[in-house]
Structure 1
Amino acid sequence: MIDKVFEKSITKQFEFDEEVASVFDDMLNRSVPYYKEMQRLTINFALNFLENNDKVYDLGCSTASTLIELAKHCDKELQLIGIDNSNAMLNRAKNKAKAFGVAIEFIEGDIHDIALEDAKLIISNYTLQFIRPLHREKLVQKIYDSLESGGVFIFSEKVISSNKTLNKQSIDEYYKFKKTQGYSEFEIAQKREALENVLIPYSEEENRQMIEDAGFSHCETLFKWVNFATFIAIK
Structure 2
Amino acid sequence: MKRDNIFVKPIEKHFEFDEQVAAVFDDMIERSVPFYRQNIELIVNLLLRRIKKEMHIVDLGSSTGSMLIELARRCSEDVTFTGIDNASAMVELAQKKAKAFDIKVDFICGDILKVDFSGADIILSNYTLQFIRPIVRKDAVQKIYDSLNSGGMFICSEKVLMQNSWLNKQIIDIYYDYKQQQGYSKSEIMQKREALENVLIPYTIEENFLMFKSCGFKSCETIFQWGNFVTMAAFKS
**TM-score (norm: length of structure 2):** 0.98
Q: How many residues align?
A: 235
Alpha carbon RMSD of aligned pairs, Å? 0.7
| Pairs within 5 Å for 1:1-235 | 1-235=2-236
Between 1:34-43 and 1:167-176, the stretch displaced more is 34-43
Q: Distance in 1 between matches of 2:153 and 2:66?
A: 19
Gaps of 5+ in 1: none
Q: CA deviation at 1:29?
A: 0.3
Q: Distance in 1 between matches of 2:180 and 2:137?
A: 31
Q: Distance in 2 between matches of 1:40 and 1:212?
A: 27
Q: Distance in 2 between matches of 1:192 and 1:78?
A: 39
Q: CA deviation at 1:49?
A: 2.1
Secondary structure, counterpart of 2:39 in structure 1: helix
Percent of counterpart pairs with the same letter?
55
Q: Flag as ranges the 4+ runs of structure 1 deviating above 6 A.
A: none
Q: Distance in 2 between matches of 1:109 and 1:188?
A: 30
Q: Distance in 2 between matches of 1:156 and 1:13?
A: 22
Q: CA deviation at 1:48?
A: 2.3
Q: Distance in 1 between matches of 2:189 and 2:44?
A: 30
Quick check: 1:49–1:151 contact (8 Å CA) kept in 2? no
Q: CA deviation at 1:174?
A: 0.4
Q: Distance in 1 between matches of 2:225 and 2:46?
A: 15
Q: Distance in 1 between matches of 2:228 and 2:34?
A: 9
